[in-house]
Amino acid sequence: MATEQKRDEQSMKPAPRVTVPAVMGAKGRRKLTMLTAYDYCTARWVDRAGVDMILVGDSLAMVMLGHEDTLSVTMEEMLHHTRAVARGTQRALVIGDMPFLSYQVSVAQAVENAGRFLKEGRAQAVKLEGGASVLQQVRAIVEAGIPVQGHLGLTPQSIAKLGGFKVQGKDQEAVNKLVEDALALSEAGCFSLVLEAIPASVAQRITEAVPIPTIGIGAGRACDGQVLVIHDLVGLFDRFVPRFVKQYDALGQRIMEAVIRYREEVEKGVFPGPEHTFGAIPS
Ligand code: KIV
């Protein structure tokens, strides 16, 4: 945990917000941390744990709403969750993930929707997926004063094209395209770049080539930072567990055990006990 953060905890003053320049300045100095969160309570715990960035990922389509993939989540749903996360966050930089078809159709639509994440969602930045095909959008959004995080490699909004959740950058042509896209996104003004499910050596090449921080998920240790989906990290999402996930807890199991204890105590008449029960009003 950073020294400044400890000092702020001791003085009980709210810690200053992590800024986009601070994230950019971390490259080559210290590793960055990013996690997803989708609701107020989780955002509060993640924020207190001292991560640099909280992503309100469109993965919420799968882990919060139970969709098959990320394609169905809407702008309104993303904004609803972003507002909740923003209310629960004091220190981390909050990034809203632009959902499928909220930026691909036109540059004007991309700027307008990106702006909604800041204006209505109270995020400090947005993330969008893609390389050469979204450069105009990135330039226009940045020009409007909205920080943009790029996302290359396995881009789940393109699973129809990619043929599923598969590791990317596996041949020389694909590697060259990833490096070109990374450089182009950086030149277009992205402040950082998520690299998802690509070989570690490719992520290292990109990390060395671009001046902005790379944030890896299934992209090895050489990245400037790491991101995971919170439901994966704490063991809540069990439909599938990608190889790149480390489960630091088995919260799903622990929730179920707590609920079983509750159910059994209610069924046996043990809960509520006297300590949970209000006495009669004295007459
Ligand atoms: O939506 C998401 O959670 C993401 C992360 C996996 C980077 O895009």
**pLDDT per residue over 104-163, tens digit each?**
999 999 999 999 999 999 999 999 999 999 999 999 999 999 999 999 999 999 999 999
pLDDT at position 280 is: 74
Protein residue with its CA nearest to atom 3 in ligand 1: 57
Question: In the predicted model, is pLDDT for residue 98 greater than 60?
Answer: yes
Establish whether residue 62 lines the binding site of ligand 1, counting it when its CB lies within 6 angstroms of any ligand atom: no
Residues identified as active-site: 196
Ligand 1 centroid, distance to 245 Cα (angstroms):
13
58 CA to centre of ligand 1 in angstroms: 6
Residue 94 Cβ inside 6 Å of ligand 1? The answer reads: no
3-class SS of residue 1 = coil
C-beta of 102 in contact with ligand 1 (< 6 A): no
Ligand 1 contact via 197 beta carbon (within 6 Å): no
Instruction: Burial-class residue 112 by CB neighbours within 10 Å (0-12, 13-18, 19+).
Output: middle
Q: Which atom of ligand 1 is nearest to the CA of 127?
A: 8
Average pLDDT of the chain to the nearest whole number? 95
Q: Which atom of ligand 1 is nearest to the CA of 215?
A: 7
Q: Is 59 in the pocket of ligand 1 (CB under 6 A)?
A: yes
Helical packing angle, 135-143 and 107-119, nearest 10°: 50
pLDDT at 281 over 60: yes
pLDDT of residue 7: 53
47/63 Cα distance (integer angstroms): 20
pLDDT higher than threshold 60 for residue 194: yes
Average pLDDT value for residue range 213-230: 98
Helical packing angle, 172-188 and 135-143, nearest 10°: 20
Query: Is 2 a residue whose pLDDT tops 70?
Result: no
* Residue located nearest, by CA, to atom 1 of ligand 1: 57
Ligand 1 and 54: CB distance under 6 A: no
Is the Cβ–Cβ distance between 203 and 214 less than 8 Å? yes
**CB 52 less than 6 A from any atom of ligand 1:** no
Q: Which of 62, 157, 196 to mutate to test the pocket of ligand 1 (most atoms within 8 A of CB)?
A: 196
Q: Which atom of ligand 1 is nearest to the CA of 229?
A: 3
Atom 4, ligand 1: which residue's CA is nearest?
57
pLDDT score of 242: 93
